Structure 1
Amino acid sequence: MSQGISVQAIRKAYAQGWRKPFREALKGISLSIASGETFGFIGPNGAGKSTLIKILVGALRPTAGSASLFGRDVREPEARRGLGFVPENPSLQDFLSPYEVLLMGLRLHGLHLANERKHCMQWLERFDLEAVADNRLRGFSKGMLQRTALAHALVIQPRLLILDEPLSGLDPAGRKDVVDILDEYSRQGGTLFFSSHVLHDVERIADRFGVIRQGEVVTVQTPGELLHGEQRVTVRSAGSVPVLGFVPETNGRWRAEVRRDQLWQALDALRVAQHTVLEIRAGLTLEEAFFRYLESTPKPAAGDRPAVAQPN
């Protein structure tokens, strides 16, 4: 399978002022995302997610290392043809309408369609913006601006989507709609690289996910690898009789963390006690794994200053 995104030993350092050490935002990151893959990038604020995204879209130059999109160096403008991008805080000209924003995207990417208006309106409808298609953006809510930016990214029929916190500012219904649209884009063969703090949504649609902390990628896994590597499962049941190893929750419900090789034994005990099994799931979720990796990654000792190349 061909590569969609290739990142090789990327470093990015920022000057902090006269006679102060350079601050290294990215510390030699390497990643490979295949064409057609959906990759979720997660980490706390300040970990380096947005910095890497800005390098991928050509908004920043790395201090060292290289990156390419579909085999083209990100420094080449041609690398961004067919790229749909939404930054964490989209800045849209508020004197334009959603329709004009989408039309501008078509023109910038050189797409020639028989009926531009119809094509744009189809995407505005997908994001529930058709009723305000010709209204000025001035006065739009944050969620409406976010949906306009996402429609702008998708209207160009991108082969690659790079999204920085795409669910920011959306209400629960809006998040579900956007996740459904991104899932559909992925299933149709599009390549998607996105950062998010909404870990449940990363778990739902990502083929793989990477965790970044303090400028370093601490793990890259598939959701399946995460679940299969965990040796315990959570079992929930409902019943009136206590069962050894189960702790009470509320309203006659019980919960236990059970080793995989003891699962059938636990289920037999529930059957004897006439419990109803409510849930059996892997004991580790993406959210729990995220915090586990953050807690297990050692912090640099006070006063340690890693050697940093001077920016070009």
Structure 2
Amino acid sequence: MPNALEYKAVNKYFRSKGKLIQALHNINFSVAEGEVFGFVGPNGAGKSTTIKIMLDIIDDYTGDVQLYGVSARNADARKGIAYVPESPALYEQFTPLEILQMGLDMYGIRRTDKDAWCTQWLERFSIGHVAKQRIRSLSKGTAQRVALAHALVVNPKLLVLDEPLSGLDPVGRKDVIEILAEYKKQGGAIFFTSHVLHDVERIADRFGFIHKGELLTTRSPRELAAERADCYLVRYNAEQPIHSSNIQIRDSEFEIEVTQSELPNFIQQISANNGHLLTVKPAVSLETVFFKILNEQNNSNQISN
């Protein structure tokens, strides 16, 4: 059985102001059928470029991208694929019910219960009460739910989501996470980007960190927990950081990751530098890893330069 999505040695260059800039550097990863893969990175890291390549919006790249074993350059590869961008462009003059009905028509799906099927999905996203209101009258969060319902109403085998929880309130986020979990249980695969690292931890089976076009690492929450079982996150106040690897949270507030054996000595260093210990907590956190990798990458770049 082929993977739902596979990138093999993908490179992408852009030309800006006469200079050739490499946007993606030898990207390699795969997403298995029924797997949820989170793609994490700062703005400009290459997340959107990666999505545009798999959707054949960008086609001038080197390497190979396949969707269920078919080249992404082939239009047939996107049969059964649904995509929700970060800012969905829905026709404002239509209603949510009409949007979902159009989705079925565009995919060539014929159902005798079309209205009931579309209404069922709107109700599943808790927006059945606005089924016949114009999109222009809806809030951003409600429109986001319409876009997600539009993607799922066609029963896709792969969902590609760019910041799927953007604009949703806490209740909406919980609902969508539950719906995506159900979709996965039914065998669907998901590739999604997110700036909310806590959501990635809750949804993803594996996640990849991309920074300046380079995929720095891919791992699972289980691997993360195993790697960092002996690590602690220490936050403290001081005039200056005690160690160069400290991350500055705000003025005079810093954070560092230390092992259990290093912890007592570091607490003593805080006191010796007239600092104040704020919190100590286990470092099993995607956010901690994310900033640690960025910090290591930045330090490496400074040394090489």
Q: TM-score, normalised by structure 1?
A: 0.79
Once the two structures are superposed, residues 160-203 of structure 1 have per-residue CA deviations (whole angstroms, 9 ceiling, x without a partner) of 00000001111111111111111111122110100001111111
Correspondence 1:53-202 to 2 at 5 A: 53-202=51-200
Change over 3 Å in CA distance of 1:282–1:186 after alignment to 2 = farther
Q: How many residue pairs get matched?
A: 263
Say which SS state the counterpart of residue 43 (structure 2) adopts: coil
What's the offset of the Cα at 1:79?
Answer: 0.9
Aligned match of 1:29 in 27, 30, 33?
Answer: 27
Say which SS state the counterpart of residue 13 (structure 2) adopts: strand
Q: Aligned partners of 1:297 and 1:144: how far apart in 2?
A: 39
Task: Identify unmatched segments of 5+ residues in structure 2.
Answer: 234-257, 264-279
| Aligned structure 1 segments of 4 or more residues deviating by more than 2 angstroms | 257-260, 280-284, 298-304
What's the offset of the Cα at 1:63?
Answer: 2.1
Say which SS state the counterpart of residue 91 (structure 1) adopts: coil
What's the offset of the Cα at 1:62?
Answer: 3.8
Say which SS state the counterpart of residue 45 (structure 1) adopts: coil
Contact 1:109 1:156 in 2 (8 A): yes
Q: Aligned partners of 2:54 and 2:199: how far apart in 1?
A: 23
Aligned match of 2:48 in 47, 50, 54?
Answer: 50
Q: Aligned partners of 1:59 and 1:29: how far apart in 2?
A: 17
Contact 1:227 1:282 in 2 (8 A): no
What's the offset of the Cα at 1:259?
Answer: 3.5
1:222 paired with 2:220, answer: yes
Cross-structure match for 1:7: 7
Change over 3 Å in CA distance of 1:281–1:223 after alignment to 2 = farther
Q: Aligned partners of 1:303 and 1:289: how far apart in 2?
A: 22
Output the amino acid matched with 2:260: R
Cross-structure match for 1:16: 16
What's the offset of the Cα at 1:9?
Answer: 1.2
Q: Aligned partners of 2:208 and 2:15: how far apart in 1?
A: 27
Task: Identify unmatched segments of 5+ residues in structure 1.
Answer: 236-256, 263-279, 305-312
What's the offset of the Cα at 1:100?
Answer: 0.9
Cross-structure match for 1:284: 284
Say which SS state the counterpart of residue 297 (structure 1) adopts: helix
- Percent identity, aligned pairs only? 46
What's the offset of the Cα at 1:302?
Answer: 11
Q: CA RMSD in A?
A: 2.4
Say which SS state the counterpart of residue 115 (structure 2) adopts: helix
Change over 3 Å in CA distance of 1:300–1:21 after alignment to 2 = farther
Q: Aligned partners of 1:258 and 1:294: how far apart in 2?
A: 19
Change over 3 Å in CA distance of 1:281–1:109 after alignment to 2 = farther
What's the offset of the Cα at 1:224?
Answer: 0.5
1:259 paired with 2:257, answer: no
What's the offset of the Cα at 1:106?
Answer: 0.6
1:296 paired with 2:301, answer: no
Larger Rg: 1 or 2?
A: 1
What's the offset of the Cα at 1:81?
Answer: 0.9
